[in-house]
Amino acid sequence: KMKTNHEKLLHKLEKERQVLCRSIEERMKENGTLREQLQNLHHEVECCEEANPCASEKKHLIKNKKKDPMKRIQARRKLVDLSRSQNEMIAKLSGELDEMLRKTYPSFSKNHST
């Protein structure tokens, strides 16, 4: 009887260990995803900072507006490109969301056929 209790306890602890290992793997995957998102956000911030000069540079640009229109054109072009890339990302994420909804809740899908 003592051996069976020990075996039961060992089996229970093994199951708990497996659950914890799966949880750790999920967290590691989530951390990797979050690291990628963080890198993407840092890149987007850099793009925004390049496209939008800081306040002191804006004042300088206003003073020299007539002297250097190329800087304004470049800044506007960067903003347009950034806007386009963000729109593409939104469309992609929207598609992924629709796909996830179809997988999770097939009855709510837009193209659900009976």
pLDDT of 12-51, one tens digit each? 999 999 999 999 999 999 999 999 999 998 888 877 767 7
Q: What is the pLDDT of residue 104?
A: 82
Residues 25, 87: Cα–Cα separation, whole Å: 33
Over residues 80-114, the pLDDT tens digits come to 888 899 999 999 999 998 888 888 877 765 554 44
> What are the tokens at 10?
């060992």
Q: What is the pLDDT of residue 56?
A: 42
pTM attached to this predicted model:
0.39
Q: What is the pLDDT of residue 113?
A: 47
Q: Which residues of 51-84 are buried (b: 16+ CB within 10 A; e: fewer)?
A: beeeeeeeeebeeeeeeeeeeeeebeeeeeebee
> What are the tokens at 16?
């708990």
